[in-house]
Structure 1
């Protein structure tokens, strides 16, 4: 026999944590025993659809919203198992059930959106703080190096002057400390 698809229309359901929502699905089945399907139940297609609707509402009521959204496959599997067992005396074999859509109330959608935004902001603040800790550690290391190395501060000052003078549009006026002038004197003596 061929596999037949039954659309399970939107069902109002309430989750274990009291969230009202609408859920729909599609159910795939085939007639395994045509004699039973005709004799044991009137309009087996309608009966399968009705059974799927009530079972879907019941199973959704057994799980929380988080479980429903994150474990759709296991919820679908649970619905399939229950419907398959119930339709077995009718000669029907349920192949699979797929939850198509879970529609949340607008207020809950907004709340979930705000919660997700707050979580993203929290992660951004944590990452920024971690970056600032790393930057401050590097600055402290650089300060220790400049403080302990002879002439390191002078070298850094000269590098800064070089960086400032690389752009021709900049005019730099400096009041040079005596230490820098002494460094230039030392360089002049070395050239001679």
Structure 2
């Protein structure tokens, strides 16, 4: 008769098979096997893995009592924790674990729903073993998001990280920046009421106020706002002359916003400020305005010169009147003339008894 010795170590167990049937379970120690039998040794700390039919093995009452069997159905997974630490994910099928050695806990998850209602930490959800079973969406700071489930609006999401189970149900998150934004409407070539061609650079400051309106009731709300502001600017400029536009340039933005009414609200937006950044004259209009400017400056210069000449003449008349009325002032003026002449001329001869100022006048008048 054939016999062999089998050594079963601590935390091990041996299953004895004869003709494919489980006949005996060997515990720790030195064991003797007689006859044509095979022995499979298992580590009690590990999951029970066998090539045999598990259901047939479980008919053995002793083995059945030693194993904890977990059934995982379609649309489910089971998370396995060992001594409170996450270890693995069980997919669809039948799984068995040895009892008594390691404290195991099993958490069943329903994958047929979208929301993660089970109490599972983000650390575990980020584990590589769960990556294929979850969907992750991040709404960054200063943003809001719309959660769409099967194309229908479910809820509005604030900044944060969101996880959903991965299944056949479609999940989408559309995010929008809720901060104040500035839109440039540059290079707009417009015609004023008096047919002056201009190029205007315009800006508008806005922010999303109602994310549901902006994304669900409107397509490309920012492009729609651009067109609204473009048309409003064109309408305003076409109703005023060039001079009127230049005079009230700083007030154009406020007037456009007033005319805009509730159109921005219908886009889910709040427009807070707008204005003209630059007014650029094009082609011949620029040359004409330069000529007008030069003419205005020349007229201003001529006016200033005339005022100065008038003031000078008035000053001479006042001086002459004072000299005529005051003999001492007349003598002082004679001395002033003499001093100036002395600086320029070496010798002067004055003849006769006539007035020196009269004689000097005659000299300089020649």
State the match for 1:63 in structure 2: 240
Q: What TM-score do you get using the length of structure 2 for normalisation? A: 0.45
The alignment status of 1:35 with 2:222, answered yes or no, reads no
Task: Quote the offset at 1:151 in angstroms.
Answer: 5.4
Give the drift of 1:132: 1.7
Aligned pair in 2 of structure 1 residues 103, 151: CA closer, same or farther (>3 Å)? closer
Distance 1:71 1:124 in 2: 27
* Structure number having the greater strand percentage: 2
1:156 and 1:81, CA in 2 relative to 1: closer, same or farther beyond 3 A?
A: same
1:189 corresponds to which residue? Answer: none
On the 8 A contact 2:197/2:285 being kept in 1, the answer is no
- How much does 1:174 deviate? 2.5
SS of 2:183's equivalent in the other structure is strand
Give the whole-Å Cα distance in 2 for the aligned partners of 1:160 and 1:143: 15
- Compute the displacement of 1:48 (Å): 0.9
Distance 1:154 1:179 in 2: 14
Alpha-carbon shift at residue 118 of structure 1 (Å): 1.5
Q: Which residue of 2 aligns with 1:138?
A: 315
Residue range with higher mean Cα deviation, 136-145 or 56-65: 136-145
Structure 2: runs of 5+ lacking an equivalent: 1-177, 357-366
- 1:138-171 CA-to-partner distances (Å, cap 9, x unmatched) read 2122222223333544432222111232x4xx33
**Partner Cα distance (2:279, 2:254) in 1:** 16
Aligned residues: 178
What are the within-5 Å matches in structure 2 for residues 141-152 of structure 1?
141-150=318-327, 152=329
TM-score calculated relative to the size of structure 1: 0.82
Aligned pair in 2 of structure 1 residues 150, 12: CA closer, same or farther (>3 Å)? closer
Which residue of structure 2 lines up, in the alignment, with residue 54 of structure 1? 231
4+ aligned runs moved over 2 Å, structure 1: 80-85, 144-155, 170-175, 177-181
Task: Answer with 1 or 2: which has the greater Rg.
Answer: 2
Cα deviations by residue, 1:5-44 (Å, 9 ceiling, x for unpaired): 1121322211111112221211111111111111221110
State the Cα RMSD in Å.
2.1
Separation in structure 2 between the aligned mates of residue 2 and residue 84 of structure 1, nearest angstrom: 22
Does 2:187 match 1:13? no
**Further displaced range: 141-150 or 1-10:** 141-150
Q: Using CA pairs under 8 Å that are at least 6 residues apart, name the structure with larger relative contact order, 1 or 2.
A: 1
- 2:332 corresponds to 1:158: no
Quick check: 2:254–2:273 contact (8 Å CA) kept in 1?
yes
Residue of structure 1 equivalent to 2:89: none
2:351 pairs with 1:174 = no
Q: 2:302 aligns with which of 125, 138, 155?
A: 125
Does structure 2 conserve the Cα–Cα contact (< 8 Å) formed by 1:84 and 1:93? Answer: no
Hey, what's the Cα distance between the residues in 2 that align with 1:10 and 1:61?
16
